Amino acid sequence: MVGRTLAHYRIIEKLGQGGMGVVYKALDIRLDRFVALKVLPPEKVADPDRKRRFVQEAKSASALNHPNIITIYDIDCADGVDFIAMEYVAGRTLRQRIADGPVPLDEALRYAVQAADALAKAHGAGIIHRDLKPANLMVTGDGLVKLLDFGLAKLNDPGETQTLAVLGTPGYMSPEQAEGWPADARSDIFCFGAVLLEMLSGRRPSLLAGEPEFPHGVPPAVEQVARRCLARRPEDRFQTAAELKAALEACPAKASSPASIAVLPFANLSADKENEYFSDGLAEDVIDALTRVPGLQVTARTSSFAFRGREADVREIGTKLNVSHILEGSVRKAGNRVRVTAQLVKTADGYHLWSDRWDRELADVFAIQDEISRSIVEKLRVELAGERPLAKRHTENIEAYMLYLQARPQIYLFTPESLAKSMDFLERAIAGDPGYALAYAGMAVCYFHMAFFGFMPVREGWAKARSFAETALALDAGLAEAHAVLGVAHICHDYDWKQGERELRRAMKLNPESQEVSASYDYFWLVQTGKYQESIAECHRALARDPLSPFQHWRLALRYMLTRQFDLAIGEFEKAIHLDENYFSAHGHIPLALLALGRIPEALAVAESFAASVRFPVAMAFCGLVYGAAGRPEEARRLLAQLHEIARSAYVPPTWLALIHAGLGETAKVFECLDQAVEARDGMIFHLRFIPQLDAIRQDPRYQAFLRKINLAA
């Protein structure tokens, strides 16, 4: 009997048996606590490989300390019996839980996030599990997940020669494991995808023969995560468990939330087609009002407006945007009268829940917005945050409001011409209502972009951005975008990270759903202070709300560039271009990812095409960098000369010049340009982190000196 050979433990009951040994529940009589004993029977000890794996499990797991990984107390051999004493977990395995049927989505995601966190810890210690499956995940009564059985675990030693041996459990193994090739962390991520699919479907997956099948009702975001885990090529999967965890945390926890909605652009039925800005503005303000309602998931404007002019079925829209309801409407404006119609539709069956029509004076437009919002909230049975109006009235001057509506879409075209046009509308709005806080905030955002992209003398741009933000906040301290601009100005102009963080966090607290706020907090705080996994999580959260936005895909792609996951970056850049074939920022960065992968002819072709079609300094700089790094210095110097010529009459960020010098290997010139960039307050210096071709520069002692100048040295 086992109990007589292990004097310090009293066996209570047998818990199970597997290929690696028998597991007992036992009492540690020295410490008076229950433990789980895994015992390798004497007849198995003769198998040296089995014993080696038994010892490997103990060593692997004991090297880890994490709430979601089983704790190893001891490993010993007594009277010829090898055993491991480990934490006793009261509960049942995920395999036993799935036997009851599919795991509800919110529950499955809770378990998945914990398991991903455990894998991240193990992988961070260089340990690959290699046998992740439901039977090796224990779930306690209060929902805590514990990762078990490191019997096949292996320290990740890239230099070690491995024999072709199939290790793992059929049905969960990655393709490379099934073929006997060495496994790395991405093999565990494949197994994880199989476990997630089994939780959602309630049945063991068959993955190596074809595409995985997902049960009806799984949100697209969750399915996308699982499919990426299950990609046949390791380079197409999540590259780290930490990144996987971030993606899971951004997924919706309900298959079809009763409180999710997309507001489509309202049709402009006015005789004057120029009034489309008004119909769009009305829909945007309803979106803004609804985002203030706790518990209501609202799709962002970019994704909702992607369906403008398309004959899309509401069910298709609901699937692509992962919403259960659609609001559509129309606006007819004539003189000082306006007619607005709106209807709320269920995406599951196209059923109309509510519709209404308003014939009012134009001055009543704010009341109409609030009535629409409250009607939706009532129909969806969402709890309101108090009785205050949902559609906030920032001005009583309808003419100023109309000017603001015309200014808003111009801001996010990010060209000098569009920003100048936006500022013209906003200046006229302020002239009509000097107390219009939102218009001042809009001016602050315009000058922020003018300064950041170098469309005007940079110091002047930052000064004006700060001034308008401060005026906006003096009129309305709750304007999140103004706080964000102020935070960016503190960082880019003053290199004051403490004040910058304070303002950016304040902005996020006020309105985390704002694209301006989220992107600024992410880019200027999370990225620049090295919080890369938090940054990726924020990008996934934004993308879940705005899945059809080229900007959000480009934003995530840059984070993959940041973490040097170039295949994934190219995939996200291509998604952005698929959504908007003219999205020049995506076209511009793809050559850098191709170059990093050694795909030089492709990088050159894409860079040349981009520079030829977009005559911006940034396009010339990126192309010059590619030329230099690809061994074509003459072409690189030609573009460098052209940029210097442009700089005679217009501002060219010194950072762009530094890129070409980096491609040419002219390190001293790079740091000379960076010194000029610091002095000029060139915001583009914060983009350097995303450029892999500067990795060699970052090893130079002068780079630390550069970071000290912007108060960012480690």
The DSSP line for 371-398 is HHHHHHHHHHTPPPSSSS-SS----S-H
Average of pLDDT values for 333-344?
A: 86
Catalytic residue among 131, 149, 188, 546: 131
How big is the chain, counted in residues?
714
Per-residue pLDDT of 92-136, as tens digits, reads 889 888 887 788 888 999 999 999 999 998 888 888 888 889 988
Terminus-to-terminus CA distance in the chain, angstroms?
59
Element (H, E) at 148: none
635 exposure class (CB count in 10 Å sphere: 0-12, 13-18, 19+): middle
Give CA separation, 695 vs 376, 525, 615, 623, in Å: 52, 21, 27, 18
Q: How far apart are CA 294 and CA 468, in angstroms?
A: 30
Residue 703 has pLDDT above 50, yes or no: yes
What pLDDT is stored for residue 474 in this prediction? 97
In degrees and rounded to multiples of 5, residue 155 shows phi and psi of -65, 135
Please confirm, yes or no, whether 131 is among the known catalytic residues.
yes
Comparing CA positions, the residue from 675, 670, 665 lying closest to residue 706 is: 675
Helix, strand or coil, per DSSP, at residue 197? helix
DSSP for 675-702?
Answer: HHHHHHT-GGGGGGGG-GGGTTGGGSHH
| Per-residue burial over 537-553, b = 16 or more CB atoms within 10 Å of its CB, e = otherwise | bbbbbbbbbbbbbbbbb
**Which pLDDT band, with edges at 50, 70 and 90, does 163 fall under?**
very low
pLDDT tens digits, one per residue of 640-684? 999 999 988 888 889 999 999 999 999 999 999 999 999 999 988
Which burial class, exposed, middle or buried, applies to 707 when counting CB atoms under 10 A from its CB (0-12, 13-18, 19+)?
Answer: middle
Three-state DSSP class for 417?
Answer: helix
Stretch among 73-87, 121-135, 499-513, 625-639 having the lowest mean pLDDT: 73-87
**pLDDT computed for residue 154 by the predictor:** 54
Q: What is the pLDDT of residues 477-524, one digit of tens each?
A: 999 999 999 999 999 999 999 999 999 999 999 988 888 899 999 999
Predicted confidence band of residue 563 (pLDDT cuts 50, 70, 90):
confident
Distances (CA, A) of 208 to 98, 176, 194, 296: 21, 11, 11, 39
What is the Cα–Cα distance from 259 to 376, expressed in whole angstroms?
10
d(CA 217, CA 583): 32
Tokens linked to 401:
């409001």
Q: Is residue 97 within 8 Å of 149, Cβ to Cβ?
A: no
Model confidence at 208: pLDDT above 60: no
Angle, CA of 454, 519 and 106, to the nearest 5° = 165
Q: Which two tokens stand for residue 151?
A: 């019997």
Do 68 and 117 meet the contact criterion of CB atoms below 8 Å apart?
A: yes
Q: Please indicate, yes or no, whether the overall pTM of this predicted structure exceeds 0.85.
A: no
Ordered domains of the chain (ranges, CATH): 2-87 (3.30.200.20), 91-157+164-249 (1.10.510.10), 260-382 (3.40.50.10610), 394-529 (1.25.40.10), 582-714 (1.25.40)
Q: Strand runs (DSSP E) across 156-240, as ranges?
A: none
**Cβ(652)–Cβ(643) below 8 Å:** yes
For the stretch 444-480, pLDDT in tens is 999 999 988 878 888 999 999 999 999 999 999 999 9
Of 515, 605, 514, nearest to 554 (Cα)? 515
pLDDT of residue 162: 43
